């Protein structure tokens, strides 16, 4: 009798285990350490996680390490997307060092929930089958629901409850879709699904299409594709700003990493979902940009901006896995830097967690010149203006969709990007106009951690805009994405 040992290797899990260790330490360490000390420990754990990803890359990314019979994969795509997740998480923790007390979330449980959410995000990026992806998605979602309600205010509780209720429906739809996919293919492994989809028996095609569309609807909620985006403006504006930063960057990166695994890999040649995704993207581009035009609160404008950028990002899924994956990987990093810096500035200056109105931003340059210039750079990059990194990110997304034959959708995306100039440039111009209103934000104080986060983000936006190959050269390698489904 041959004894088959389980495929348990902890090396591919190292980046995830380091973050999980930080989460457990925050859960237990709150009894004898203050919150600031815990945050510094978690920053160190995230840096160690990033270092472990670099080590795994150098140890042979072309032959990725796997665990649990391929259920966890430390392949190049996982390492690159995981790096973006860790970067966004570091920026969140840096901002929270200066703003947690004022936002009334300065306690150990905040750090614990944040690290648990990051653990789930990394599990999604490193997943090799639908079960691990679902586990990561639920860990991320449950922790995010709690984070959205941590602040002691009615607005935060309302936003968290709405997020939980709608998120539960989205998760149920996703699980139902996974059951359909298993029924059609007889497996939950990405690589095996990809193999069986191309030779599927006719009677199972309908089940496969139904499963793919249900999974698409579940993911559409997580990334805020219209019409599944209704929770976004209320949650982003009601949650503490540091949490809004996390939800709009790290959670979005993780959800798109899962979509890339499923639709760019396992279901790449499956019928049906491409056409539906085109409709969702068109709705998202129209609704996100149109709604942002009429917002008077800056945080709500950034929420609808996040919806609009979801449409641009989703366009990359319609392309082949190499060009689409490279475009998505670049866009996700740039989007994380742009959004994180903009919300970090809001978190540093706002008098209340509602943020400040766009009209109240008039004259910001005369009160906080460095923050005003940094915010203007972020807004210009979000609008896609050269020479900032957002321009190249949108260009790659448009190019990927156009070369795959989606010409009409690309034209719509270009028009939507032009329309976004209105709501991005309005606050940018107001900041440099003469100051005729009383200050609506706190006076500039000692915020070294937030200033560091903003400075790093702005430097990244400028460098990636002027020298895009610093990051894109890693992404453009076909070997980075050829194993996205494990094959």
Instruction: Let me know: does 321 contact 482? Beta carbons within 8 Å.
Output: yes
**Three-class DSSP category at 65:** strand
Please tell me the predicted confidence (pLDDT) of residue 1: 47
Beta bridge partners of 72: 67, 127
* Six token digits for residue 318: 């319609």
Judge whether 487 lies within some domain. no
Task: Name which of 99-108, 191-200, 361-370 the model is least confident about.
Answer: 99-108
Percent of the chain with pLDDT over 70: 91
- 9, 417, 437 from 140: Cα distances, Å: 23, 30, 41
Higher per-residue confidence, 362 vs 335: 335
pLDDT surpassing 60 at residue 264: yes
Fill in the DSSP letter of residue 66.
Answer: E
Judge whether 3 lies within some domain. no
pLDDT surpassing 70 at residue 301: yes
Judge whether 6 lies within some domain. no
Q: What is the CA radius of gyration of the chain?
A: 21
Domain that holds residue 284: 14-481
Residue that is written with structure tokens 């896609």 in the block: 384
Judge whether 318 lies within some domain. yes
pLDDT surpassing 70 at residue 443: no
Please tell me the predicted confidence (pLDDT) of residue 62: 54
Give the whole-angstrom CA distance, residue 104 versus residue 367: 25
- Reported as a single tens digit per residue, the pLDDT across 470-479 is 888 888 877 7
Give the whole-angstrom CA distance, residue 10 versus residue 261: 21
Give the whole-angstrom CA distance, residue 280 versus residue 275: 9
- Reported as a single tens digit per residue, the pLDDT across 157-203 is 788 888 888 889 999 999 999 999 999 998 999 988 988 888 777 77
- Average pLDDT, integer, range 431-436: 79
Average of per-residue pLDDT values in the chain: 87
**Phi/psi class of residue 186: alpha, beta or left (left: φ > 0; alpha: ψ in -120 to 50)?**
left
Instruction: Let me know: does 63 contact 11? Beta carbons within 8 Å.
Output: no
Range among 98-102, 145-149, 255-259 rated most confident: 255-259
Judge whether 9 lies within some domain. no
Burial 375-409 (b: 16+ CB within 10 A, else e): bbbbbbbbbbbeebbbbbbbbbbbbbbbebebeeb
- Reported as a single tens digit per residue, the pLDDT across 31-76 is 777 878 888 999 999 999 999 999 988 765 556 688 888 888 888 8
Count up the domains in the chain and report the number: 1
Percent of the chain with pLDDT over 90: 53
pLDDT surpassing 60 at residue 409: yes
Fill in the DSSP letter of residue 340.
Answer: H
Judge whether 253 lies within some domain. yes
Higher per-residue confidence, 229 vs 354: 229
Give the whole-angstrom CA distance, residue 412 versus residue 429: 26
DSSP per residue, 446-484: --HHHHHHHHHHHHHHHHHHH-THHHHHHHS-HHHHTTT
CB atoms closer than 10 angstroms to residue 182: 16
* Six token digits for residue 6: 């389980």
* Residue 442 phi, psi dihedral angles, 5° rounding: -70, 150
Name which of 472, 192, 217, 232 is nearest 332 in CA terms.
Answer: 472
Judge whether 7 lies within some domain. no
Judge whether 486 lies within some domain. no
- 147, 305, 423, 424 from 364: Cα distances, Å: 30, 21, 17, 15
Handedness of CA 50, 55, 61, 66 (dihedral sign): negative
* Residue 441 phi, psi dihedral angles, 5° rounding: -140, 170
Please tell me the predicted confidence (pLDDT) of residue 98: 83
- Cis peptide leading into residue 227 (ω within 30°): yes
Range among 61-70, 193-202, 348-357, 453-462 rated most confident: 453-462
């Amino acid at each position: 009798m041959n004894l088959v040992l389980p495929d348990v290797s902890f090396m591919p899990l190292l980046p995830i285990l380091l973050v999980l260790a930080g989460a457990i330490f925050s859960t237990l360490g709150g009894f004898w350490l203050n919150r600031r000390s815990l945050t510094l420990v978690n920053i160190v754990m995230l840096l160690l996680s990033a270092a472990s990803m670099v080590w795994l890359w150098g140890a042979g990314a072309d032959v990725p390490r796997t665990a649990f019979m391929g259920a966890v994969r430390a392949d190049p795509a996982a390492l690159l997307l995981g790096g973006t997740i860790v970067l966004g998480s570091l920026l969140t923790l840096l901002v929270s060092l200066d703003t947690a007390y004022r936002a009334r979330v300065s306690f150990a449980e905040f750090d614990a929930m944040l690290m648990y959410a990051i653990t789930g995000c990394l599990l999604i990026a490193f997943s090799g089958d639908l079960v691990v992806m679902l586990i990561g998605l639920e860990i991320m979602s449950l922790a995010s629901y709690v984070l959205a309600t941590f602040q002691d205010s009615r607005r935060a509780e309302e936003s968290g409850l709405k997020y939980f209720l709608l998120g539960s429906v989205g998760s149920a739809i996703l699980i139902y879709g996974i059951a359909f996919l298993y029924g059609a293919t007889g497996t939950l492994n990405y690589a095996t699904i990809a193999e069986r989809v191309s030779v599927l028996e006719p009677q199972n095609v309908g089940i496969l299409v139904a499963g793919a569309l249900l999974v698409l609807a579940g993911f559409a909620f997580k990334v805020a594709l219209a019409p599944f985006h209704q929770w976004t403006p209320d949650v982003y504006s009601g949650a503490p700003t540091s949490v809004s930063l996390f939800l709009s960057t790290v959670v979005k990166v993780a959800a798109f990493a899962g979509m890339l695994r499923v639709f760019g890999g396992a279901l790449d040649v499956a019928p049906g979902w491409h056409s539906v995704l085109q409709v969702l993207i068109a709705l998202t581009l129209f609704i996100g940009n149109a709604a942002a035009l009429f917002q008077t609160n800056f945080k709500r404008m950034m929420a609808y901006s996040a919806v609009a950028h979801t449409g641009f990002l989703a366009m990359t899924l319609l392309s082949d896995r190499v060009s689409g994956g490279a475009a998505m990987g670049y866009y996700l990093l740039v989007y994380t830097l742009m959004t994180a810096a903009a919300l970090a500035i809001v978190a540093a200056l706002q008098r209340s967690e509602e943020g400040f109105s766009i009209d109240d931003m008039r004259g910001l340059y005369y009160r906080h010149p460095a923050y005003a210039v940094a915010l203007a750079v972020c807004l210009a990059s979000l609008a896609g203006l050269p020479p900032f990194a957002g321009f190249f990110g949108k260009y790659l997304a448009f190019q990927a969709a156009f070369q795959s034959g989606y010409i009409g959708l690309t034209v719509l995306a270009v028009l939507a990007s032009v329309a976004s100039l209105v709501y991005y440039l309005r606050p940018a111009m107001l900041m440099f106009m003469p100051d005729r209103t009383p200050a609506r934000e706190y006076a500039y104080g000692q915020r070294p951690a937030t200033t560091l986060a903003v400075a790093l983000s702005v430097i990244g936006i400028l460098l990636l805009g002027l020298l895009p190959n610093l990051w894109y050269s890693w992404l453009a390698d076909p070997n980075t994405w050829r194993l996205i489904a494990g094959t």
